[in-house]
């Protein structure tokens, strides 16, 4: 009796194999976007509470600037001050203002430290680790065209429910290693799409963070950005107390010192005429 020889590598004689389920890329992208929207909303709500140290600096700076402005006006309007005395008092006030503003810097450092404590995403749970172990085991038993749709469904479920997100954060290095070195998965387009979904790389090339971020890390990022902006505005008004730096704090800039008309007139004359004018002589 002649036996039928089956060559698994030949399409003509190979036994039919059911098609593997298609990778639901559009559904994955939508699920990851939904996860991100929920986490960003939670981070925004947390951010709206405000940081006490940042709020203290925001409230203190305008008060310090306004107090300095009022004192400068008083110095400028004091008829008993000579030009030299007025300049000396203005310089003293400026140094006092710088010291008062610089004393606010530690509050921003405190806000930075607090925000940084939120900068790390939640570690994988014990359930996440068990699922990771199971996925790695299945990698050795399933062909890529069956494995990847299974991973896609798990990724979609994790993104939709928020349960198991830690699994895919921990799985990400394995996915990248399989894409780079695995004989069966190297350069696989579907695997690359899975990696892009986990990392939040959109088809347009935008990077959103995907599942590698959560409400805590998003909050930390936004809070640190806020602290950095306040620190910049504080440094500007300390080092360059001009109209623009004051305007950033909503304060009218301080008045310029009154013009010493006698000094201006003397500067326009010759040495002898200027000396006589300074002595009160009539020229």
The pLDDT value recorded for residue 254 is 80
The answer to whether residues 131 and 61 belong to one domain is no
The answer to whether residues 115 and 230 belong to one domain is yes
The answer to whether residues 115 and 232 belong to one domain is yes
On whether residue 17 sits in a domain, the answer given is no
The answer to whether residues 102 and 154 belong to one domain is no
The answer to whether residues 194 and 250 belong to one domain is no
Number of domains in the chain: 2
The answer to whether residues 109 and 172 belong to one domain is no
Mean pLDDT, the chain, whole residue set? 85
The answer to whether residues 65 and 140 belong to one domain is no
The pLDDT value recorded for residue 235 is 94
pLDDT digits (tens, 9 = 90+) for 31-83: 999 999 999 999 999 999 999 999 999 999 999 999 999 998 999 888 888 88
The answer to whether residues 159 and 205 belong to one domain is yes
pTM, rounded to two decimals:
0.75
On whether residue 6 sits in a domain, the answer given is no
- The predicted model gives 120-125 an average pLDDT of 88
pLDDT digits (tens, 9 = 90+) for 198-243: 998 876 777 888 999 999 999 999 999 999 999 999 999 988 878 8
Q: What torsion, rounded to 10 degrees, do the Cα atoms 160, 164, 166, 169 define?
A: -70
The pLDDT value recorded for residue 101 is 95
The answer to whether residues 109 and 165 belong to one domain is no
| DSSP alpha helix (H) spans, the chain | 25-48, 52-77, 83-102, 105-116, 126-139, 144-161, 165-181, 189-199, 215-239, 243-247, 261-267, 271-278
The answer to whether residues 205 and 138 belong to one domain is yes
- Supply angle C-alpha 274, 85, 251, rounded to 5: 115
Residue 151 φ/ψ, nearest 5 degrees: -65, -40
Range of the domain at 128: 124-209
The answer to whether residues 64 and 108 belong to one domain is yes
Question: What count of other Cβ atoms lies within 10 Å of the Cβ of residue 49?
Answer: 8
Q: How far apart are CA 123 and CA 133, in angstroms?
A: 16
């Amino acid at each position: 009796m002649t036996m039928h020889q089956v060559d698994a590598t030949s399409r003509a004689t190979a036994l039919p194999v059911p098609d593997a389920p298609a990778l639901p890329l559009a559904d994955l992208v939508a699920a990851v976007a939904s996860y991100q929207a929920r986490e960003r909303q939670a981070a925004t709500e947390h951010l709206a509470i405000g940081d006490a140290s940042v709020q203290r600096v925001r409230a203190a700076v305008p008060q310090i600037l306004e107090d300095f402005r009022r004192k400068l006006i008083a110095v400028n309007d004091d008829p008993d001050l000579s030009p030299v005395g007025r300049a000396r008092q203005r310089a003293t006030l400026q140094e006092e203002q710088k010291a008062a503003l610089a004393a606010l810097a530690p509050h921003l450092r405190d806000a930075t430290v607090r925000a940084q404590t939120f900068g790390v995403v939640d570690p994988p749970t014990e359930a996440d680790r068990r699922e990771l172990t199971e996925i790695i085991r299945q990698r050795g038993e399933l062909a890529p065209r069956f494995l990847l749709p299974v991973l896609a469904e798990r990724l979609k479920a994790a993104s939709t429910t928020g349960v198991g997100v830690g699994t895919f954060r921990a799985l990400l290095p394995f996915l990248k290693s399989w894409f780079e070195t695995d004989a069966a998965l190297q350069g696989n387009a579907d695997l690359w799409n899975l990696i892009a979904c986990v990392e939040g790389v959109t088809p347009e090339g935008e990077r959103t963070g995907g599942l590698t971020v959560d409400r805590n890390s998003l909050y930390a990022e936004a809070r640190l950005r806020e602290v950095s902006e306040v620190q910049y505005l504080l440094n500007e008004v300390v080092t360059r107390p001009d109209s623009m730096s004051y305007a950033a704090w909503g304060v009218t800039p301080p008045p310029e010192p009154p013009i010493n008309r006698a000094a201006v007139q003397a500067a326009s004359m010759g040495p002898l005429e200027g000396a006589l004018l300074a002595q009160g002589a009539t020229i």
